A and B are shown apart, each in its own frame.
Chain A
Amino acid sequence: MYKVEARSVSVWYGSYKALDDVSLSLERNQVLALIGPSGCGKSTFLRLLNRMNDYIEGFRMEGKLLIDGEDIYSPEVDPVHLRRRVGMVFQKPTPFPFSIYENVAYGLRLQNRLKESQIRERVEQALRQAALWDEVKDNLKKSALALSGGQQQRLCIARALAVRPSLLLMDEPTSALDPISTAKIEELIHELRQNYTIVIVTHNMQQAARVSDMTAFFYMGRLIEYGRTKDFFTNPKHPETLRYITGRFG
């Protein structure tokens, strides 16, 4: 069984077709990079995976999208429950204006069934996984807004991990960060792939090559090429892909 499987997925926003007949499948514990020029549909595809597009006006979808073999757009699926299994990190750090501790505990408190001691355990665990624990363990009560940009983004990763998802979505997670913070996040992605399946949208070709096992190239709403990252960058099959990865457009 694949972790993620898309079967002929098409998406419309009103009359605008954002995704056209996309099919792909991703194995467990792999990192998938979605690349392509702006407006190509890669973010739309990412946001399909935790049903974040549901509330956009005029959104309509056809095809099937399976996570762990379950059709996540079937009427029985509650998006609220789905999102506890599918975490998301955004293109800018989005710390809540609370303390570091409360930020990480936010998702845990939503479910109302953990004791405070369990929450504390999970917060520490998540911060360790996000490689932030050593930097903040003495200041958990400090406002999250006082952290640096890179720390804030790792906090957001910890916040997503605390709910224990099995699939992690990252929408250009390093686009607002400096090179050192970016390197730390990439290193983190490397470690996380042992326990998680990760889908990452990136504008940065080198990043895609560095962090991912699989790469998907989107162009004008269609999946142009999909394959193992190694082959993808060394031996692209499609001329559009070659033009894009060599920087001739996009």
Chain B
Amino acid sequence: MRGGVGKRILQAAALTTFLVLFGLTGFLFREGLPALYKSPYEELRFAVHPENPISQLDAGQVRALVRREKKWKDFGGPDTAVVAVHLANIDRYVTAGASLHQIQSTIDSLARLRGVLLALPPNLLPKHTKPLVVHWKGWKEIFFSTQWSPTYEPVPAVGFLPLLMGSLWVSVIGLLVVVPLGIAMAVYAVEFLPKTLYYPVKILWELMAGLPSVIIGFWGLVVVVPWIQKVFKLSAGETALTAGLLLGWMTLPLMASLVEEALRAIPRLLEESSYGLGATQWQTILRLKLPYILPSIATATLLAAGRILGETMVVLMVSGNSPVIAWTPLKPVRALPATLAAELGEAPVGSYHYHTLFLLGVVLFLLTLLLNVSAYLVRPRHA
């Protein structure tokens, strides 16, 4: 029999790998998709004072009231201050160690205030109040809301936009660093580096590719962050720019290796044809070689983008982790994978927060898949 036992072992290994990958992807989707149709406050009931004319609001309006960014008046309600009462702030009104009975009577007396906004489990809700319907807009809330505050009580904000924007800043800056520098490094290694120096340089550059990202993050925190802070006179050096620079630098070995490989694969006769027509070395590089490897450069750029997009540790350490939409790269941002790393450990399994984080994972997975498929589609096909 051909292959025999060895072949079977390899087959089993391949099958296992495939099943595990398939299972993982399935798990990601199974845990992530409920965020699209569940609501974060299914267990809560909202209520207001019976004389309050407002009977329905959407989640963002409730959040604004609780945060005191808006008043009842703004939505056509009474001209009184908002008194929010929910599980996370009940301790403001009762002393520590109060009995359930004492808590209930405190809630009952708070409910008599005209400006009250109650968000409580049904059994704690006082009798003489008016129910308030709070609309949750589902996937629109996730993809169009501009705030990320997934543990905010009683109504969390789970807009992915600030996180997507964070990833976008970091990736764009990273690519602006890695693409030109990676090409330059490869051209230098192939065209100008003396042979005796090539191997030492190449070894260093491969070593750089193997540096654990936490080391790079630490170095960034100690060296690059203060530098950025000083150069741009910022109050904090943890910005999108800092993370982008470090990620671009970190991805350099990958980019440079891919471009170098493509440059070395240019047929020697083609190169000689250019020289034979009276081209200088620079003319040959700029007019023949770089155009020739353009598909490889595109592939390498997409692969580098995938790497930057998926990188977690460095971004977590130096980006400032502020999930607020940044309009300049000198603001702290938070990227997708860093959010997962920072929050997944704290989100109770099965909670709405947990589902949104998995949905974030699904988005990250799809973006990376898109980059890799594009890289495959633009790969070089000549020769």
A interface list, Cβ under 8 A from B: 50, 52, 57, 80-81, 83-84, 87-88, 90-92, 94, 96-98, 106-107, 109-111, 145, 156, 159-160, 163
- Contact flag A107-B270 (CB < 8 Å), given A96-B288, A96-B292, A145-B382: no
Inter-chain contact A110/B283, CB cutoff 8 Å: yes
In B284-323, which residues have CB < 8 Å from any A CB?
287-288, 291-292
Helix, strand, loop or mixed for chain B's interface?
Answer: helix
From A52, A57, A110, B279 is in contact (CB under 8 Å) with A110
Inter-chain contact B272/A84, CB cutoff 8 Å: no
Inter-chain contact B278/A107, CB cutoff 8 Å: yes
Task: Tell me the minimal C-beta distance from B235 to chain A in angstroms.
Answer: 51
Closest to A112 in B: B283
Closest to A82 in B: B278
Closest to B280 in A: A80
> Given the complex, which residues of B lie within 8 Å of A92, measured CB to CB?
269
List 17 additional A-B contacts (Cβ < 8 Å) besides A83-B277, A84-B277, A110-B283. A57-B195, A80-B279, A80-B280, A83-B275, A87-B277, A88-B273, A88-B276, A90-B272, A92-B269, A94-B269, A94-B270, A96-B270, A96-B274, A97-B292, A106-B279, A106-B288, A107-B278
> Given the complex, which residues of A lie within 8 Å of B274, measured CB to CB?
96, 106
> Given the complex, which residues of A lie within 8 Å of B277, measured CB to CB?
83-84, 87, 106-107, 110, 159-160, 163
Task: Tell me the minimal C-beta distance from A59 to chain B in angstroms.
Answer: 14
CB within 8 Å: A-B pair count: 64
Inter-chain contact A52/B272, CB cutoff 8 Å: yes
From B270, B272, B278, B287, A163 is in contact (CB under 8 Å) with B278
Task: Tell me the minimal C-beta distance from A100 to chain B in angstroms.
Answer: 15
Expressed in whole angstroms, the Cα–Cα distance for A50 and B273 within the complex equals: 12
Expressed in whole angstroms, the Cα–Cα distance for A50 and B287 within the complex equals: 21
> Given the complex, which residues of A lie within 8 Å of B292, measured CB to CB?
96-97
Inter-chain contact A52/B287, CB cutoff 8 Å: no
> Given the complex, which residues of A lie within 8 Å of B283, measured CB to CB?
110
Expressed in whole angstroms, the Cα–Cα distance for A227 and B164 within the complex equals: 77
Task: Tell me the minimal C-beta distance from B264 to chain A in angstroms.
Answer: 15
Expressed in whole angstroms, the Cα–Cα distance for A145 and B292 within the complex equals: 12
Expressed in whole angstroms, the Cα–Cα distance for A98 and B270 within the complex equals: 12
Expressed in whole angstroms, the Cα–Cα distance for A34 and B28 within the complex equals: 69
Q: B267 near A: Cβ within 8 Å? A: yes
Inter-chain contact B275/A96, CB cutoff 8 Å: no
Expressed in whole angstroms, the Cα–Cα distance for A80 and B279 within the complex equals: 6
- Which of A106, A145, A159: most chain B Cβ within 10 A? A106
> Given the complex, which residues of B lie within 8 Å of A163, measured CB to CB?
277-278
Task: Tell me the minimal C-beta distance from A197 to chain B in angstroms.
Answer: 16
> Given the complex, which residues of A lie within 8 Å of B278, measured CB to CB?
80-81, 83-84, 107, 110-111, 163
Closest to A52 in B: B272
Inter-chain contact A50/B279, CB cutoff 8 Å: no
- Which of B275, B283, B292, B382: most chain A Cβ within 10 A? B275
Task: Tell me the minimal C-beta distance from A76 to chain B in angstroms.
Answer: 17
Inter-chain contact B273/A96, CB cutoff 8 Å: yes
Inter-chain contact B270/A52, CB cutoff 8 Å: no
Task: Tell me the minimal C-beta distance from B286 to chain A in angstroms.
Answer: 11
Expressed in whole angstroms, the Cα–Cα distance for A111 and B270 within the complex equals: 19
> Given the complex, which residues of A lie within 8 Å of B276, measured CB to CB?
50, 52, 83, 87-88, 90, 160
Expressed in whole angstroms, the Cα–Cα distance for A146 and B272 within the complex equals: 21
Expressed in whole angstroms, the Cα–Cα distance for A10 and B172 within the complex equals: 56
Task: Tell me the minimal C-beta distance from B169 to chain A in angstroms.
Answer: 35
> Given the complex, which residues of B lie within 8 Å of A160, measured CB to CB?
276-277
9 contacts between A and B (CB under 8 A): A52-B272, A80-B280, A81-B278, A88-B276, A90-B272, A94-B272, A94-B273, A106-B274, A110-B287
Task: Tell me the minimal C-beta distance from B199 to chain A in angstroms.
Answer: 16
Closest to B195 in A: A57
Closest to A156 in B: B273
From A57, A84, A90, A111, B273 is in contact (CB under 8 Å) with A90
> Given the complex, which residues of A lie within 8 Å of B275, measured CB to CB?
52, 83
- Which of B270, B272, B275, B277: most chain A Cβ within 10 A? B277
> Given the complex, which residues of B lie within 8 Å of A156, measured CB to CB?
273
Expressed in whole angstroms, the Cα–Cα distance for A79 and B273 within the complex equals: 14
Expressed in whole angstroms, the Cα–Cα distance for A83 and B280 within the complex equals: 10
Expressed in whole angstroms, the Cα–Cα distance for A159 and B274 within the complex equals: 10
Task: Tell me the minimal C-beta distance from A229 to chain B in angstroms.
Answer: 26
Inter-chain contact A97/B272, CB cutoff 8 Å: no
Expressed in whole angstroms, the Cα–Cα distance for A203 and B319 within the complex equals: 66
Closest to A83 in B: B278
Task: Tell me the minimal C-beta distance from A15 to chain B in angstroms.
Answer: 18
Q: Mark B170-203, 1 if CB is under 8 A from A, else 0.
A: 0000000000000000000000000100000000
Expressed in whole angstroms, the Cα–Cα distance for A58 and B272 within the complex equals: 18
Task: Tell me the minimal C-beta distance from B39 to chain A in angstroms.
Answer: 56
Q: Mark B333-362, 1 if CB is under 8 A from A, else 0.
A: 000000000000000000000000000000
Expressed in whole angstroms, the Cα–Cα distance for A97 and B383 within the complex equals: 10
Expressed in whole angstroms, the Cα–Cα distance for A110 and B281 within the complex equals: 11
Task: Tell me the minimal C-beta distance from B46 to chain A in angstroms.
Answer: 66
Expressed in whole angstroms, the Cα–Cα distance for A83 and B274 within the complex equals: 10
> Given the complex, which residues of A lie within 8 Å of B287, measured CB to CB?
106, 109-110
